[in-house]
Each structure stands twice: as C-alpha cells, then as structure tokens.
A and B are shown apart, each in its own frame.
Chain A
C-alpha cells in the first residue's frame, strides 16, 4: 500500500555501478561520469526488492530508502 521512496546522493556516488547492475529497472548510470541516475523514485512492487538490495550494496552509501511518511533522515 505504502510506497517507499528512494533518494540518491550524486555527490557521494562513486560510479561503481552496483545499482545499475542489481536493479537496472530502477537505476542507471550517467554515460559520461558513471554516476547514479534514479529512474523511479517510487519503484513498482516488482522492483522494490532489487532497489532495496541496490541500496544495501552501494559502496558509498549514496542510495537511501525512505518510508512514505519520513520527513528527513
């Protein structure tokens, strides 16, 4: 029912590509600098687990998952 919201911090991103690898429907990499591009801030259910894993394996902690009511971190 409630959709978690993804946030990416492109300043923290180190362009490792783990997100684009684990959740390609949700994340991509900028063609020039390799940094994260968020395709869906509120991923559909089918891609939520992959998005969560991408947040978990991100080497720089650039991806965060927020509850729908979260106001800040």
Chain B
C-alpha cells in the first residue's frame, strides 16, 4: 500500500497516440497506484477518481452516493436539477417512478422479438453499402442508421423525421460544438419531442411512446424520457458498432475467429463492450461521509467513476488490455451497475449481435481504407467515445 494517494488533475483530453482503444494514459497510470485517486474536476473543485472494478461497482450499488444532477460539485456554479423525465440523473423515488413504466418494454424476451426486424434493417444497410461499392464510411452507412432506425421505430418517431433528428443528436453528443450550436440543437430536439408527444397522445400508434401516454406521466415528463431513450438508444450503440469494427479490423486474428465461428458472436459482443466501454465515465456525489479504500469521501464531494479503466482492471480481468473474443463472460461495467444500469442494454445486445455478425459475413475482405492513425476519434470531452468516421473498403465480388 502506498503512503500517499495518487493525484489526477482534471480529465485527460486525449488518448495515447496509437492506442485509440485504451483509456487515456493518465487514468491507467492512476490505476497503477490504486483503485482511488485524488482528482480535480474540470471546474476546479476537488474530488475523487475511481478506477478499480470492485470499487466502482460498490459505489454504484451504494445509495449513499447520489446521481442527482443538482448535487454535482465540480465547480463554482450551480447545477440545475435534471429536467422532468431525465431519470438518469435522479435518485429514488423519482428515478423509479420514470423507470418502472419502461422496464417491461425492454425485457430480454421483448428485445429478442425484434431480432428479425433488426436483421432486415441491417441487411438493407449492407445492401446499400454493397450497391454503392467501396470505399464507404462505416459510420454513416452502417453504425448510425441501424440503431437510429431501431430506436425510432421502437419509440414511434416517424420515418421522415429521422434524418433531422439524428443530426441534432449528433450535434449535442459529438463533444465539439459551440455553446450556441449546442443550445440550438437541444432546443430544436426538445420542441420536436414536445410535438411528437402531443401527436402520440392525440393519435396513439403501436409504439413505446404511445403506450406511455397511457400512464400518469405528463407531456413534459414524456418529452424528457423520450430524449433519454433516443439519445442513449443510438449514440451509444452507433459508437460501439463503429469503434467495435475498428477494433476488430485492428485485431485480424480475432476478426477471423469471429468470422469462422458464429457461436463466438455473443461473447464477442460482451468482450467488445468491456474492451471499448464507450460510455466511459459517470459521476456520483456522496450524500454523507463515506470511507472508501482507506480514504474519506466527504459529504458533498463528487466522484468520477471510470468505467473504461475499471473494465481494464488487471485484478478483475486477465490480460485486460487484450481483446479476446473467447474471454469467458463474467460481468463488466459497460452498462454500469446498480439501479441505474442501462435500461436498453438488452436491445443494444441484440443490435450488436445481429449487426456485427451480418457485417463480417457480408464483407470477408473488409479493411480500413486509410492508415489506422488517420481514423478520426471523438475527443475525450464527448460523453460517448468513438470514431467520427471509419473509411473502409473491400474487394468486390464479380458475378
């Protein structure tokens, strides 16, 4: 045990060149000193950074740590509470009030029933890609449209609205826009969703949002819920699909194994989730003084939980920095843990299983169309990590 605690100054801004899949070097270095480090938030307030798998998991299961947005203590400014319906940043009982009417709509069984439709959507994307011929940007032709179409159909966003909707979400999830653009995109999305909720209430259709209008949730709350479901429903999966393909292409032996053995698909998805952890960090604020790893987290202090570093914890995973699609599944934190664990994880799993499988089957010669170091990555400031575009090519089969 080291005498002094390691200190990390604010969030690293970039990954190590040449290591696009690994957490930033500063976080891995912090973890070498122990599962918990002192940390300075971007806004200047002192906090803690937790990188150990067991410790992250225990904080997520501990109701002494709050998810409430207004308690975030990261700088000298007031943080407003989460808007109605955005239950990700709430504690019980508010969180449960929103989550409960939703959970039955995202069960393992209900999501499996979508398999066939997701296969269809995927095949259509791959058909279009094949028809247009190489090269292609895998993000726009594959990774984004599949989850976008799926979540829009599930929720009930009309087909013709999907394009503009995706653009707005891209703007506020990309991590690189000015405040003005961010606010404009957010406002436009809010307005759109308000209209959509009103339309579903007036004319219910066969989708989740229409089903939800038959509850005690207000239009304002439904708007917030829809925003969470849409944003979480495709930005995460889209980035897993594109970054996951990049990772497979950079690990040819693993890709070959996956291509040769369809039985590897489910395990491959879990391993890619662990290895990439695109939803990389979340925060919690201590409600009371909490002893953690020999340190006292004072009440009111915000801790950063590094899921991506925890998912590379050598005490939990053998050879953690190796992508091993045959690694036996034994849990990971890619979907978080505790009462806030991802509501849509079973949907994401079905989407990834279908999409990765179909992609490797369809294009046996798929490869990067640019050198790996030229693939543009999202900045660390983006909530969800990934690539901005993934230029790929393949050998066309002449018939």
Contact = CB atoms under 8 A, between A and B. Distances in A.
Do A and B bind? yes
Interface of A: 14-17, 20-22, 24, 28-35, 53, 56-57, 59-61
Contact of B61 (A30, A53, A61): A61
Interface string B92-115: 000000011001111111000000
B269 to A, nearest CB: 11
Nearest to B330: A53
B338 to A, nearest CB: 6
B331 A21 contact: no
Contacts of A28: 109
B171 interface: no
Given A14-B99, A14-B339, A21-B346, A57 B106 contact: no
A31 B346 contact: no
Given A14-B99, A17-B346, A33-B100, A59 B107 contact: no
B338 A60 contact: yes
Interface of B: 60-61, 99-100, 103-109, 329-331, 336-339, 341-342, 345-346, 349
A19 B175 CA distance: 35
A32 B104 contact: yes
Nearest to A61: B61
A32 B211 CA distance: 12
Given A16-B345, A33-B103, A59 B338 contact: yes
Contacts of B342: 16
A17 B108 contact: yes
Contacts of A16: 341-342, 345
A29 B341 contact: no
B337 A59 contact: yes
A45 to B, nearest CB: 19
Contact of A60 (B329, B331, B339): B339
Contact of B104 (A22, A24, A33): A33
A32 B349 CA distance: 21
13 contacts: A14-B99, A14-B341, A15-B106, A16-B345, A17-B108, A17-B345, A32-B104, A34-B104, A34-B106, A59-B337, A59-B338, A60-B61, A60-B339
B108 A21 contact: yes
Contacts of B108: 17, 20-21, 24, 29
A58 to B, nearest CB: 9
A16 B345 CA distance: 8
Contact of A17 (B107, B337, B338): B107
Q: Which of A16, A20, A56 has the most CB of B within 10 A?
A: A16
Contacts of A21: 108, 346, 349
Nearest to B99: A14
A20 B109 contact: yes
Given A14-B339, A21-B108, A34 B61 contact: no
Nearest to A16: B341
A41 to B, nearest CB: 20
